[in-house]
Each structure stands twice: as structure tokens, then as C-alpha cells.
Structure 1
Amino acid sequence: MSEKRAGRTLRIGLTQWHATREPAANLQHALAAVRGCAADGAELVLLPENGLMLGSNAEMRERAFSADSPEITELRRAAREAGTVVVLGGMKHRRSDRITNSALVIDRNGELLGAYDKIHLFDAQVGGVSFEASGVERAGAEPLLVEVNSVTVGLTICYDVRFPELYRSLARAGAEVILVPAAFTRTTGRAHWEVLLRARAIENGAHVVASATVHGEHPGEDAFETYGHALAVAPWGEVLADLGEAQFAHRVLELDLDAVTRARTALPVLEQSRPDAYTSSPQRLVAGPTGTEAAV
């Protein structure tokens, strides 16, 4: 890995809100989060997945956004006025021939730099509910890195967090901070959210920052309940921030990039991993019944 100069930091805005089926109301939360984080010195503000519209598959398909939608135009204006990079952590993105779940990267001048299309689609059965994201969107095929003030940042979205090989590839490509904007279900969040984020941070020696949507205060008001608990995790696995179940919250964190160097020096797993040794099928040994010898 290339040597990093000492004393480097990145001020990043962690955000969370209760996203509904109403884009206009959600947009106001997004704009307030961008402005609030910028006022606290954020160089990058991470907004949650589906933060602009969270509904059923059919509703989100119908209300998919394009790059020139008014909501995106407003976010671009907010980024320019605040002078900060904004990552809209995931939206149903309508292109001419397809819909993807895309994290848009908006630079501090309000320009759209590009987008990461979510690679792993949430097709699962959770808590008696069937989530069939592939019925709404098409999977992406390329990881994405973005340079923010000379810090290499990797982009992922929500369900991606269950696929550690993606995070290892980003880390090996130089990612020091990895973003995981999410609309994690409440059921899986209670069981897996924190441990997955801490694992991705520890195994890659990287900061992991995960903005999130959160369930509403009234049962039945959401198409599905999301967990909240937007988290930031340091390379050694410490939780730096947890926004709990706040209906709207944001916090700016100064990430210590020297902590990445320290973690990767102490545990040089990126250099020591041997993917070629375990890409082939494993050997199999058969232990015979009691009283017989195993076949080897």
C-alpha cells in the first residue's frame, strides 16, 4: 500500500431520517442535513439509501428519479451553496433503458461526478415479507472509488455489506473510507447491522460510515420498517457514532486517516491475503463410520 502522509483527516456528515412516500418532505430533510453538516465543517455529507422516497417496490418503481429530476437539482444547488461533496446514498435511478439503485456523487460545485449502481440486489425473505429488488431495478457491475480532498472513498449500498469480497476489493484498490448508506430492515438491523459494519471495518482496516433511514413512530405507516442506527466505525472496530432511532439527526465526524495506517500496519491483511489459494474448489476428506478408516 502507498504511504500516507501524517495528520490527514476527513470531516464527514453522518445523517439519518424517517423517509416516507412523500419526496417533497424527504427532500427537506436531505437539504437540512446537507446544510447542517456543512455548517459543522463537513467536507462530505452522506445521505441514506432511499432517503428521497421509501415505499413499496411498485411505488418506488413508479416514482424513480432521473438525474435531472427537480429533487436532484435542489440537492446539487445545496451542495454548491454549502461547498461540500454530497453523496445521495441510493435512489431508484431511471435511465432511458433501465432503473438502477444508484448512489449519486455531487461535487462541491454542484456538478454530478458520477454514480455507483448497487451490485447486490435485496432479494430476500425477512420477517414474513418478500423483498424482490430485482423486480424493480437492475444490478450494477462496477465498484466505484471517489477522491475527496486526497482521501480515497469507496461506495457501497446497504445489502452490499453482506458481501465482504466487494469491500476487500475496494480496500485493496486504496479505499481508506467506505460508505454504506442504507435502508436496512428493522428485523435484520437488530440482528446484524452493527456486527456487519464493524466486521467490514476491521477486516479491511478502513473507516466505515453508514447513514440510514429509520422507522416511523406509528405502526403501519411505512411500506416496511427500517432500523436507523446510522453508524460510523473506525478501522480498529470502535463505534464512533450511533444515531439511534432519531427521526432526524446528523453529526459531523473527523475521521483520522492515520488510524487506517496504524490498523493496516498492525494487521497487514491486505498484503497477506492469498485469493489465488482459495478460488479453486476446496479438497474434501471423508470421515468414515466409527470403527473404519477415513478415505483420504
Structure 2
Amino acid sequence: MTQWHATADIAANLTTALRLIAAAAADSADLVVLPENGLMLGTNTQMRAAALHEDADEVRELCRAAAAHEVAVVLGGMKNRTAAGTFNSALVIDAAGTIAGRYDKMHLFDATIGGQSFEASSVERPGAGPVVIDLDGVRIGLTICYDVRFPELFRALATAGAEVLLVPAAFVQSTGAAHWHTLLRARAIENLAYVVAPATVHSPTAEYTDAFATYGHALAVSPWGEVLVDLGEEPEAVRVLDLDLDAVTSARAALPVLAGRRAAEEYGADPRVVTTATRIPEGTR
């Protein structure tokens, strides 16, 4: 799991990513997950202009690093220019350096926070559906940042067998302080799965003005909702965790919520609204 202060300088961000991949591999990591917008974090205009293709030199560098260190890498979210339009894509690079999978962010952050407008749909298109990848027998569900506010996506991933849920993010600082830990712990508890959320973090000094300040606090949460790692506001950090998948099996056996869910059509009907009469107290008529 990684965290760093991302800027609009793609070359500098790439150097940081390569350095953290090497550090994680040296600590025997099997998978290194990079944050959303880790390669480029700027204004909508800047990010639209800087969108990369999957065969861009920067992506090739990450592929070479994965192969050189024999470690899988998930580029947690980049503006990905394709023939069908620009998407916010998480690219899965296997330990041979090949792009083995891709998830396009489904839920776009169109919101106004603290007077600042975040109109992601002006930059990118929404993805078409959930993606689960199998890495060495481990089923991993892919999401990106704002997706964390949509529990139905996470339930779909867990139902498809995901044991680890990735949430690479560039979470706005103000909403992060209010909701980040709660949302990630909730997604872990609801689905009895590990949640791993690498993150970008705001500038460590007042000398650099971010396009928008991000919260940091890259987080790993157990299937029982315990925070295993919190990288706080470190401007550059990497942490390797050993995930005991037996904990997923045990948690799901103790609380079989996935087996106990009802058929989708049972939720599809409009809820019944029951109106109760108001009784007027004696002496007030």
C-alpha cells in the first residue's frame, strides 16, 4: 500500500511511484497498489489535457518496473484516453509486466465541496461494470475513490468472490476527515473482506498549492472492521501487509451475510409507505 503527495508533474510522480514499487518489492510484496491520480493530480483542465494512453511511456515504465521486481502492480486510477473516450482506469499489471486487466471507475465525482466544484464527468466517462481479478488465487475487487460511497458495487464484488477490495483514492481533504475511515470500515464490515485503500495526500508545506487538497490516510482494514494500517499524512510512504485470507473465511462463516441476502427482485419493488393517524390529546379539540 502506498501514499504520496501527487502534483501536476507527471515525471516527478512517476519517479515516486517507481521508488515505492522498488521499496515494496524489497520488502517481499506480491502486489503494490498505487493511488488514484498518483501519476497526475491537477485541475480538470490539466488532467483532461494530460490523459494518457495505456501504451504511454509512463505506463510502460510501470510495466518494466513490475517485471524487473517480479511484483504485480495496480495503477489505482489514471485518466485513460481510449477510442471510446477518456475513462478513469485502474490498470492491473502482472508480475511479468503485462497489463492483465482494467477497471473503469463507475461513479464520477460530480459535487461541490466547500465552494469548489468537482465535475469529473467533464473529464471522463463512467465505466460499464464491476471487475474482479484473480491474482495467484486471490480474488480482488477493484474500485476507485468515490465508488466507496456506493455499497451496492462492493456487495456485487463480494458476491462474485472478492476477498480483498481495493479503493485507491485521491479523496478530498474535508470529506476525508469526515467520512473516509467510516466508509472504508463499513465496506469491510458489510462484505467481511479486507479493504486496502492507497491514497494521495495534501502538500506537506505551504509553498505548494494543490489543485485540491487530498486527505491521505492510506488505510488497510480487516474483514472484522479493524484498522490495520493508517499512513496518516506522510508525504511519501509504503507499507507491506500480510493478509491472512483465512480471516475472510472465518468472518464469513461467523456472519453469513452474503449467503443471507435476498434476491435482487425482492428489493426492486417500491417500498410500502405506511401512514399512521395522529391522535389529538383530550382537551385540545
Normalised by the shorter chain, which TM-score bucket?
over 0.9
* Structure 2 equivalent of residue 286 of structure 1: 275
- Answer yes or no: is 1:195 the counterpart of 2:182: yes
- 2:269 is paired with a residue of what secondary structure? coil
**More relative contact order in 1 or in 2 (CA 8 Å, sep 6+)?**
1
Deviation track 1:109-145 (CA, whole Å, cap 9, x = no partner) reads 0001121000000001111111100010000011111
The unaligned stretches of length 5 or more in structure 1 are 1-13
Instruction: Name the structure 1 match of 2:251.
Output: 263
CA distance in 2, matches of 1:271, 1:97: 37
**Does 1:240 pair with 2:242?**
no
- Residues of 1 paired with 2:251 and 2:36: CA distance? 29
Q: What SS does the corresponding residue of 1:252 show, helix, strand or coil?
A: coil
Which one-letter code corresponds to 2:242 in the other structure?
A: E
* Partner residue in 1 for 2:138: 151
The code of the aligned residue for 2:153 comes to: L
Question: Within 5 A, what are the aligned runs for 1:143-222?
Answer: 143-219=130-206, 221-222=209-210
Contact (CA 8 Å) 2:101, 2:133: kept in 1 or not? no
Q: Which amino acid aligns with 1:133?
A: A
**In the alignment, is the contact (CA less than 8 A) between 2:27 and 2:240 conserved in 1?**
yes
In the alignment, the residues of structure 1 paired with residue 118 and residue 25 of structure 2 have an alpha-carbon distance, to the nearest angstrom, of: 35
Q: Does 1:119 align with 2:106?
A: yes
**Matches of 2:126 and 2:267, distance apart in 1:** 26
What is the identity, as a one-letter code, of the residue corresponding to 1:167?
A: F
> What is the distance in 1 between the residues matched to 2:107 and 2:48?
18
SS of residue matched to 1:125? strand
Choose which of 128, 131, 136 in structure 1 pairs with 2:115: 128
Give the secondary structure class of the aligned counterpart of 1:254. Answer: coil
What is the Cα deviation at residue 172 of structure 1?
Answer: 0.5
1:197 is matched by which residue type in structure 2? Answer: L
Spell out, residue by residue over 1:10-37, the C-alpha distance to the aligned partner (whole angstroms, 9 max, x if none). Answer: xxxx100000000000001100111111
* Distance (whole Å) between structure 2 residues aligned to residue 87 and residue 152 of structure 1: 14
1:148: Cα distance to partner? 1.1
SS of the residue corresponding to residue 130 of structure 1 reads: strand
Distance 1:276 1:257 in 2: 32
> SS of the counterpart of 1:89?
strand
Shift of 1:290: 2.9
1:74, CA displacement in angstroms?
0.5
What corresponds to 1:11 in structure 2?
none
Residue 144 of structure 2 aligns to which amino acid in structure 1? I
2:28 to 13, 35, 41: 41
Give the superposition deviation at 1:96.
2.2
Q: Tell me, in whole angstroms, the C-alpha distance in 2 between the residues paired with 1:168 and 1:151.
A: 17
Match among 97, 100, 106 for residue 93 of structure 2: 106
Q: Give the equivalent residue in structure 2 for 1:9.
A: none
Percent of aligned pairs sharing the same letter: 60
Distance 1:111 1:141 in 2: 23
SS in 1 for 2:176: helix
Give the structure 1 partner of residue 78 of structure 2. 91
